[in-house]
Structure formats: C-alpha cells, structure tokens
Amino acid sequence: MMTSIEQQIQQSTRGDAQFSVPRPPVFDDSIAEQTYLKQRLAAAFRVFALHGFDEGLAGHITVRDNIDPDTFWVNPLAIHFALIKASDLVRVDHQGNIVEGHHPINNAAFAIHSRIHQARPDVNAIAHAHTTYGRAFSALGQQLQPISQDACAFYNNHALLDTFTGVVAQLSEGDMIATALADHCAVILQNHGLLTVASSVDAACAIFCSMERCCQSQLLAQAAGPLKLVDHQTALHTRQVNASTIVTWGNFQPLYQQVLAQDASFLT
C-alpha cells in the first residue's frame, strides 16, 4: 500500500520512478536516530544564523527525543547559532530538569516548548525566533493573507495570539501559546515574533524561513496598495501541496546542503 509520503512525492515531482527522490530516513537503530536528530537540530541553528535570525539570547528550536519522548533537545544559553554543534545541545524534561548536556538553557524556551510538546504529540519540532519581518508583522495584530503561492501554505493553517504579556517566564504563558496554536503549523505572537511546528526539525525550520519571507512580502504589498487575494478553493488546493510533509521537509534539504558545505563542524 502506498504511503502518504509516496503519494505526495508522485504528486509533486517528475522522474521519481527513474531517479532517487530525497526522503526522510527511517531508522532501525534508536541511537543512530538520536544522533541524526541532534545533527539536524544543530544544522537548523546554522540555517537560522545564515538568515540573520539570531538576536542575543532570544530564539530557540527544539526536537522531541526519539528514545524518551517526554524530553526534548534545545539550544544552550548564550552560544551563537552559527557556532552550535550537536554536542552542545541540551536535553530537558517537561518539568524543566536538564537530563543531558552541559549548559543552562533559556527559561522562555522551556516555558514555551515544553507546553507545546505536551499539547501536540504530533509535533516533534518547534522553531521560534525574534526576526526582523516577523516582529514587524506581529505588531499589526493580523494574520497572513493568501497573496502568493508560498503564503497559501499558511492559509487557514496558522493562528494569532493577540496578547503580549512580556518575556515568557511562566508555564501558563506557554499554555496560552499552545492553545492559540491549536492544530496549525504556526502562530504569530503579537508584538513578539513567529513560531512554527512540524513533525521534523527540517520542516519546522523550513516553514519558519518561509513564514518570515511571507511576512516580508505582505508588509511590502500592503505598503504598495490593496491586496489581491488568491481565492479560497485555490488557496486550499495550493496549501495541500506546499504544506505537505514531503515538501516542507524537502525545502530544508538545500539549506542543509549549504550549511554543510560551509562548515560541517555542527555534526560533532
């Protein structure tokens, strides 16, 4: 029986019967899978650095541990995204206990990510950063509109948390974000920034990069004049392709190749 990923590959590619199409790996060895997850997470931070998504101590990406799913890996405090290696990552449980690693972590990262990981068993990775266009767009108190093929991936697929309570420090604030997110792939945190989720680090990072650019595009378009929107049915059909598991995962692969070619030290 054909899997949903295989169906998505057939729908979105040509030549898949003749040539190898990249696919998410499947592991028999849990230790090898854990190493892979940590390396992809470290790569995601390198991608964020490449795009200028670093802002002091702010910003965090997490991935659920495959061996102990009630814990997740997160970036260490005060290490620049461009320098993070797999060995720098910290594993924390949902009570805030560091169970593996050698660094402290950002409390906001724990407060936000632990609540989303608990609320969404389908979510294995979460990405959040204080980016230029994400912050600017979040100040509008509105959602992205289907103004382009790329923006359609977020059509009826993201939410707005229209409350800002300051720096996230309490689990209750993380619960607010998780509730606003609901079953979507992203949430705009008003006066704060963007947050994306997915079943893989690759997809969560790629979705975040796309969302930041969609915020930039809408800011430019709104400044120029009235928006001409993609119609409802076309937007839904476009989202079905652009927001699919294989496409969102696949969008990360060129970014991974780029950071790997620049400096492979994140693998260690």
Residue-by-residue pLDDT tens, the chain, 268 positions: 345 766 666 667 676 666 667 789 999 999 999 999 999 999 999 999 999 999 999 999 999 999 999 999 999 999 999 999 999 999 999 999 999 999 999 999 999 999 999 999 999 999 999 999 999 999 999 999 999 999 999 999 999 999 998 888 789 999 999 999 999 999 999 999 999 999 999 999 999 999 999 999 999 999 999 999 999 999 999 999 999 999 999 999 999 999 999 999 999 9
Distance, CA of 126 to CA of 129 (rounded, Å): 10
Distance, CA of 202 to CA of 43 (rounded, Å): 9
- What's the confidence (pLDDT) of residue 4? 73
The amino acid that residue 126 corresponds to is I
* Residue 150 DSSP one-character state: T
- What global pTM score does this model have? 0.94
At 261 the three-state DSSP class reads helix
- For residue 78 the two structure tokens come to 């005060």
At 74 the three-state DSSP class reads strand
Q: Return the domain boundaries, the chain.
A: 28-259
- What's the confidence (pLDDT) of residue 8? 67
Superfamily of domain 28-259: Class II aldolase/adducin N-terminal domain (3.40.225.10)
Distance, CA of 242 to CA of 206 (rounded, Å): 11
- What's the confidence (pLDDT) of residue 167? 87
Distance, CA of 209 to CA of 44 (rounded, Å): 10
Nearest to 179 by CA among 153, 161, 197, 199: 161
- For residue 105 the two structure tokens come to 């972590």
At 130 the three-state DSSP class reads coil
The HSE-up count of residue 230 (CA atoms within 13 Å, CB side) is: 20
Nearest to 209 by CA among 173, 177, 253, 179: 253
- For residue 38 the two structure tokens come to 């940590």
**Dihedral angle sign, alpha carbons of residues 121, 155, 193, 216:** positive
